[in-house]
Amino acid sequence: MSRDTGDNLNRNLSGNVPMDSVLDTFLSRRSVVRGGLGAAIAMIAGTGLSGCFDSGGSDDDDPVVAPPTPAKLKLGFNSIAGSRTDACVVAAGYSAYVLAPWGTPLNSKANPWKADGSNTSTDQLNAVGMHHDGMHFFPINGSSEDGLLAINHEYIDADALHPAGPTSVAGKRPAEEVRKEINAHGAGVIRLKKVSGRWQVVDNDPLNRRFTSATVMNLSGPLRGTNHVKTRFSINGTQARGTNNNCGNGYTPWGTYLTCEENWPGIFINKSATLPADQKRIGVSTSSGNYKWETAAGDASEVNDEFSRFNVTPSGASAIDDYRNEASTYGYIVEIDPYNASTLAVKRTALGRFRHEGCCPGLPVVGKPLVWYMGDDSNNEYLYKFVSTAVWQAADANPADRIATGNKYMDQGKLYVARFNADGSGVWLLLDVNTPTASGQTLGSLYGDLAGIILNTRGAADALGATPMDRPEWTTVNPLNGDVYLTLTNNSARTAAKVDAANPRGPNRHGHIIRWHDSDDHNSFSWDIFVFGANAAGTADINRSGLTELNQFASPDGMSFDSRGILWFQTDNGESSLTSYTNDQMLAVIPTNLVNAAGKQVPINAQNQVDLRRFFVGPNGCEVTGIAFTPDNKSIFVNIQHPDNWPSADLATTATPAGTKVRPRASTVVIQRNDGGEIGV
Ligand code: FEO
Ligand code: CA
Ligand code: CA
């Protein structure tokens, strides 16, 4: 979440509260929660681990987990204490280095970063963007020492971006400042190499590139070419300009990056008396854009409506004469081919339009559809998944044309939204024209065609009775068994009267992580809550997982399994019971190690919580977000977003000297073990 641009207002007025009277039922039946073994077996294919989890463990018909054949993986570091300094802290035996901070030149068109904030918009277009977030490492020829870091730049700190903060003259933002802000957003691809044991950015590498809030992209999937997305820029509705507020990320089995558009509604303004339903439901502003980019419209230097496009108030004779549809070209999953700089990014509209947080793929199985899981991060919004029409073919893992492969798997398929039942089961509700709504209509009767449904994905999900969740952030899939995990970061709008089994605390100030396992047919799932965020001194109702000083956390957000089955998650916390103890952090746990006497996976509890360990803490003011791994797991990349007064040295653990004020720079931090071994074990 961008603390400055984030918007967690509850815009869900659907009244979907399907479980608020049945919490007790759930708590008394937790032992029925179990994963779909058949699905797990289909996916694990030789890993030697079962995919079941069970929060009760008393069922004698539960299959017993097969003992892992390799030596059981264990965390090999001790949990560290919290920290509140202008420095990173990492577990003993590890080092953390600053890599690719905001403003690092990617090619010779950019001047070196200047500490006075005076770099130009052209410099910024050719340099690392601001406020790093989700990312993924794409190896070159399988290497763990040479690769491409695809990375999101979620938003900006305008005070740090400009020499003396943002300015305006008579209510208008200067064009050069607006261009610099637009260019600091988006995503990027950065060539990295490890030289003499240290990672470096490869300046001028031909694969280095930036995608900004102005970069031309293709529209693909059900919205492409429809009247919903025709603009003065693209009169046939096939292209869009820019990606914005790119928060979590995903990837594909064919080697492309997925960047997710989250708080993009804030860059637009619609001054109409009545907003289109989709704009109202998702929160397009009626007063002022977050950055007031639209106020630069009419500047003598403006090219191709580069500023006026952020004002989506109808002004022309039709949609192709103005930008009333510009906001309809945002809110998507965007696919980037990091290995081919000649390709355009593609907005994959089939995966829904909302405030996308992340987009994690399920485990690919030959002959089965591909799946991606996606959160919509606002109070009381929903969890979604997309299931491809095409079934996975192994030859597509290394295709000649990755974007064409994306067309194959990501443009046709089924979009679902989740309903969590109180008994630990769940249903995936299909967002399609023939699906009956809770009020006895069909989605087709409400929204016309599939494009209309996708345009107002939230509204369609309302109509189906999906479960409002506590701000769904990232998802990740356990490579050992296909279980899916979702961070629910917090929910100030959840009242005590509106709790349900999947979101059982109101208000939810600390967040929790829920997990599930899909059925083979993708229509249903079984779920449990893996861990509740809490301060260690919290009441029994708050500290439900028995956390201690060494692993207390709140507001889980970024999250990813590594290839070995270690779950890493990160916090974006503003809850005072934790901020008074520690800055934002990253913790690790191996869920398949947490089992009951019958060998079934169980959630984190007072007995096993010692296996949840704090590995890393960021500097004052920051959010720790984004995580990527080299194939050998000997380097882990994490991002430090919006630090207060950091970095001051190459070593990320060097504290900024007292009395020194640096211009803060979001940065990737690369963590390596001092003996060169694998991280975490
Ligand atoms: Fe950008 Fe939902 O965090
Ligand atoms: Ca967040
Ligand atoms: Ca986030």
606-617: per-residue pLDDT in tens?
999 999 999 999
Rounded to the nearest angstrom, the distance between the alpha carbon of 380 and the centre of ligand 1 is: 14
Helix (H) or strand (E) holding 346: strand 346-348
Q: Which atom of ligand 1 is nearest to the CA of 247?
A: 1
Q: Give the C-alpha separation, 394 to 409, whole Å.
A: 13
Query: How many alpha carbons fall within 13 Å on the CB side of residue 425?
Result: 7
Share of the chain above pLDDT 90, in %: 89
Handedness of CA 334, 149, 515, 409 (dihedral sign): positive
Measuring from atom 3 of ligand 1, which residue has the nearest CA? 1
Helix (H) or strand (E) holding 627: strand 623-629
Kindly list the protein residues that place their beta carbon closer than 5 angstroms to ligand 3, a single-atom ion.
1, 247, 557
Say which ligand is closest to the CA of 375: 1
44 contacts: CB under 8 Å, gap ≥ 6: 50, 51, 480, 481, 482
CB-CB contact of 3 with 621 (8 Å): no
Rounded to the nearest angstrom, the distance between the alpha carbon of 641 and the centre of ligand 2 is: 11
Q: Which residues pair with 534 in a beta bridge?
A: 553
Say which ligand is closest to the CA of 7: 1
> Which amino acid would we find at residue 164?
A
Q: Which atom of ligand 1 is nearest to the CA of 245?
A: 1
Say which ligand is closest to the CA of 245: 1
Q: Give the C-alpha separation, 583 to 349, whole Å.
A: 37
Rounded to the nearest angstrom, the distance between the alpha carbon of 624 and the centre of ligand 3 is: 9
Q: Which residues pair with 487 in a beta bridge?
A: 513
Helix (H) or strand (E) holding 14: none
| Rounded to 5°, angle at Cα 138 from 132 and 141 | 155
Using CB distances shorter than 6 Å, the residues near ligand 1 are 1-2, 154, 247, 262, 357, 377, 473, 557
Please say if the pLDDT value at position 647 is more than 80.
Answer: yes
* Radius of gyration from C-alpha coordinates of the chain: 24
Rounded to the nearest angstrom, the distance between the alpha carbon of 637 and the centre of ligand 2 is: 18
Check residues 140 and 39 and name the one with the higher pLDDT: 140
Share of the chain above pLDDT 70, in %: 91
Q: Give the C-alpha separation, 83 to 96, whole Å.
A: 15
**Average pLDDT of the chain?**
92
Check residues 52 and 141 and name the one with the higher pLDDT: 141
Measuring from atom 1 of ligand 1, which residue has the nearest CA? 1
Say which ligand is closest to the CA of 262: 1
CB-CB contact of 656 with 664 (8 Å): no
Question: pLDDT tens across 72-87, in order?
Answer: 899 999 999 999 999 9
Mean pLDDT of 275-299: 96
Say which ligand is closest to the CA of 381: 1
Measuring from atom 2 of ligand 1, which residue has the nearest CA? 1
pLDDT band for position 293 (50/70/90)?
Answer: very high
Q: What is the pLDDT of residue 23?
A: 31
Q: Tokens in use for 495?
A: 């009242």
Q: What is the pLDDT of residue 6?
A: 60
Q: Which atom of ligand 1 is nearest to the CA of 489?
A: 2
Q: Which atom of ligand 1 is nearest to the CA of 262?
A: 1
Q: Give the C-alpha separation, 403 to 188, whole Å.
A: 17
Q: What is the pLDDT of residue 17?
A: 54
N-term to C-term CA, the chain: 30
Query: In 651-661, which positions are buried (b, 16+ CB within 10 angstroms) versus exposed (e)?
Result: ebbbbbeeeee
Q: Which atom of ligand 1 is nearest to the CA of 133?
A: 1
Mean pLDDT of 2-12: 62
Number of H helices, E strands in the chain: 11, 31
Q: Give the C-alpha separation, 665 to 657, whole Å.
A: 16
CB-CB contact of 597 with 604 (8 Å): no
Please say if the pLDDT value at position 62 is more than 80.
Answer: no
Check residues 545 and 37 and name the one with the higher pLDDT: 545
Q: Which residues pair with 601 in a beta bridge?
A: 53, 595
Q: Where are the alpha helices (DSSP H) in 109-214?
A: 121-125, 158-161, 175-184
Q: What is the pLDDT of residue 492?
A: 95
Please say if the pLDDT value at position 106 is more than 60.
Answer: yes
Q: Which residues pair with 587 in a beta bridge?
A: 569, 614
Q: What is the pLDDT of residue 367?
A: 98
Map out the domains of the chain with their CATH numbers.
Answer: 19-47+73-102+124-673 (2.120.10.30)
Mean pLDDT of 505-509: 98
Total Cβ atoms within 10 A of residue 675: 7
Q: Tokens in use for 623?
A: 């959010």
Question: pLDDT tens across 16-38, in order?
Answer: 753 333 333 332 233 223 233 23
Number of residues assigned to the chain: 681
Say which ligand is closest to the CA of 490: 2
* Strands in 41-173 per DSSP E: 89-90, 94-99, 132-139, 146-153
Rounded to the nearest angstrom, the distance between the alpha carbon of 482 and the centre of ligand 1 is: 24
Rounded to the nearest angstrom, the distance between the alpha carbon of 631 and the centre of ligand 3 is: 24
Q: Where are the alpha helices (DSSP H) in 330-449?
A: 402-410, 443-447
Question: pLDDT tens across 367-377, in order?
Answer: 999 999 999 99
Rounded to the nearest angstrom, the distance between the alpha carbon of 6 and the centre of ligand 2 is: 8
DSSP one-letter code for 53: B
Q: What is the pLDDT of residue 455?
A: 98
Q: Which atom of ligand 1 is nearest to the CA of 357?
A: 2
Q: Which atom of ligand 1 is nearest to the CA of 154?
A: 1
CB-CB contact of 174 with 164 (8 Å): no
Q: Which atom of ligand 1 is nearest to the CA of 377?
A: 2
Question: pLDDT tens across 311-334, in order?
Answer: 999 999 999 999 999 999 999 999
Question: pLDDT tens across 466-487, in order?
Answer: 999 999 999 999 999 999 999 9
Q: Tokens in use for 591?
A: 């869920």
CB-CB contact of 286 with 271 (8 Å): yes
The DSSP bridge pattern shows strands 667-673 and 635-641 to be antiparallel
Q: Give the C-alpha separation, 468 to 463, whole Å.
A: 12
Q: Tokens in use for 46?
A: 């030789």
Rounded to the nearest angstrom, the distance between the alpha carbon of 201 and the centre of ligand 2 is: 27
Q: Give the C-alpha separation, 491 to 260, whole Å.
A: 21
Question: pLDDT tens across 241-276, in order?
Answer: 999 999 999 999 999 999 999 999 999 999 999 999
Q: What are phi and psi of 636, to 5 degrees?
A: -120, 130
Question: pLDDT tens across 513-540, in order?
Answer: 999 999 999 999 999 999 999 999 999 9
Full DSSP string of 191-248: EEEEETTEEEE-TT-TT-EEE-TT-EEEEESTTTTSGGG--SS-TTS-EEE---SEEE
Q: Give the C-alpha separation, 94 to 652, whole Å.
A: 11
Lowest-confidence segment of 51-60, 277-286, 476-485 by average pLDDT = 51-60
Q: 483, 467, 487: which is closest to 475 by C-alpha?
A: 487
Q: What is the pLDDT of residue 33?
A: 30
Rounded to the nearest angstrom, the distance between the alpha carbon of 615 and the centre of ligand 3 is: 19
Q: Given phi > 0 = left and psi -120 to 50 = alpha, else beta, which region is 304?
A: left
Please say if the pLDDT value at position 391 is more than 70.
Answer: yes
pTM of the model: 0.93
Question: pLDDT tens across 128-154, in order?
Answer: 999 999 999 999 999 999 999 999 999
Rounded to the nearest angstrom, the distance between the alpha carbon of 46 and the centre of ligand 3 is: 34
